[in-house]
Amino acid sequence: MRTSTGIAAALLPGLALAGASSCAAESSLLYVAAYPADGEAAGKLTTFKLDKSSLQSVAASDDCGPFPTWLTQANDVLYCINAARGSTAGGVISSLKIGADGSVTKLGSIGTIGDPVNTVAYGEDSHGLAMAHYEGGGIAIFDVADPSNITTIQAEVFDTPTTNTSFPAQSQSHPHQVILDPTGGFLVVPDLGADLLRIFQVNKTSLRYTNAGAYPLPRGSGPRHGAFLKAGDKTFLYTVSELSNSLTGFSVDTSDSGLALTQIYNATTHGDAKPLPAGTAAAEIHISPDNKFLTLSSRYERSLKHTTADGTVVDSDPLITFSVNAETGALAHVQTAPAGGIGPRHFAFNGDGSLVAAAAQDDGRVVVFARDVATGMIGKPVAETKVAGLPKFVMFG
Ligand SMILES: *[C@@H]1O[C@H](CO)[C@@H](O)[C@H](O)[C@H]1NC(C)=O
Ligand SMILES: *[C@@H]1O[C@H](CO)[C@@H](O)[C@H](O)[C@H]1NC(C)=O
Ligand SMILES: *[C@@H]1O[C@H](CO)[C@@H](O)[C@H](O)[C@H]1NC(C)=O
Ligand SMILES: *[C@@H]1O[C@H](CO)[C@@H](O)[C@H](O)[C@H]1NC(C)=O
């Protein structure tokens, strides 16, 4: 079972391999969470069936709330968050039971601190869920042992780290993700507003967290997302910073009492030092299921072209891929490929890494590409579909 952060493969290599054979099947499901377009009241969670080159909508749900923004799968339940972007109130998390046909049935929901943007499952049997709140400026954790009865265990709003009120992105704490380390004992939280990687130790039984320090990144960098990679007995963490458009690598040492980060790599999201176009905003980062490649998405560069299914040539932002040196964690640029349109806020690998799905938010398009597992290269589009509203998130079922 892969989680939406893509680190389950690092946690459970045996399960990832077992998943690979089932994902090699000819058809698979794709879940897409979309915000409403301007003038529309509500977005949707839509399930698509990918069958060779066809991507057909097979189910749709309003049960996430009007602003569905992130999904995490744990066992046979999808946890979907309603972000209510721009608001410090109105966050909701809903649990949705997945049916065999990809439709979902609501089990329960609970209100949260405002503007949740990301969740990760953790704890024994994935009975916990941790959440990052962007506008709300904090984190929260939930007990989901009974998905019909989600209960809040801890929730916290961080102190304002800076008084730069002229710049909303950094005038307060803006946690953007909760990343579970491969031991399952720590959460790392990139805080875009505070330029920190906040570190928390978690108890896998009680689910409770304790503060375990923070790693400061350069002021103004705006760390957004990250991904752990486990190679033999070595662990690395890679983060993308949205404001400086940098890609930073760390070697990771965990002990009973802490998680220590040592920087081993830093460059632009293209792996060099060349300036990027004004407005560029790095978004997502994932490690391939085989732990050999890193791919990230970069928004608003408009540097490439994509040919849509009907033959129209449109501007595209890139998906940028690096190979990872398993000994040192060093990165080598492999490819800069079109993401299928503008604003690839999110993308996902399938279980065996033979496909990549990207959500071009600003174009209302989701494109599935073939991927060469041996070279890490993203290839031709396999299927694509228009999506109503702004697709924020895409995940293989
Ligand atoms: C939901 O969980 C809480 C906390 O564990 C418990 O007190 C409550 O009885 C549960 N409610 C139901 C309906 O199971
Ligand atoms: C505050 O943000 C503005 C706008 O981005 C920037 O120009 C300025 O340098 C920032 N000030 C500090 C102290 O970081
Ligand atoms: C973790 O939580 C369990 C259950 O509450 C408790 O028994 C245990 O002592 C805790 N472990 C640590 C290291 O605090
Ligand atoms: C990493 O690179 C970025 C972009 O090139 C730069 O803004 C940042 O200051 C660098 N960080 C460190 C710690 O060297």
DSSP code per residue over 57-113: EEEEE-TT-S-EEEEEEETTEEEEEE--TT-SS-EEEEEEEEPTTS-EEEEEEEEES
- Report the pLDDT value the prediction gives residue 169, as an integer from 0 to 100: 87
Cβ(166) – ligand 2 distance below 6 Å: yes
Domain residue spans of the chain: 10-396
> pLDDT tens-digit profile of 113-141?
999 999 999 999 999 999 999 999 999 99
218 lines ligand 4 (CB under 6 A): yes
User: What residues line ligand 3, using a CB cutoff of 6 Å?
Assistant: 203, 205-206
CB 207 within 8 A of CB 120: no
Q: Which of 151, 152, 208 to mutate to test the pocket of ligand 1 (most atoms within 8 A of CB)?
A: 151
Residues 275-305: b if buried by 16+ CB within 10 A, e if exposed = ebeeebbbbbbbbbbbbbbbbbbbbbbebbe
165 in contact with ligand 2, CB cutoff 6 A: no
pLDDT at residue 159, rounded to an integer: 87
How many angstroms separate the alpha carbon of residue 65 from the centre of ligand 2?
Answer: 35
143 C-alpha to ligand 1 centroid (Å) = 10
Cross-strand partners of 229: 236
pTM of the model: 0.92
- Distance separating alpha carbons of residues 118 and 394, to the nearest angstrom: 13
Instruction: Assign 183 to helix, strand or coil.
Output: coil
CATH code for the part of the protein at 10-396: 2.130.10.10
Q: How far is the CA of 192 from the centre of ligand 4 (A)?
A: 15
From the CA of 210, which ligand is nearest?
3
Question: How many residues in the chain?
Answer: 397
Q: Which among 203, 208, 256 is the best mutation to test ligand 3's pocket, defined by most ligand atoms within 8 Å of the CB?
A: 203
* pLDDT lower than 70: segments of the chain: 1-27, 85-89, 161-163
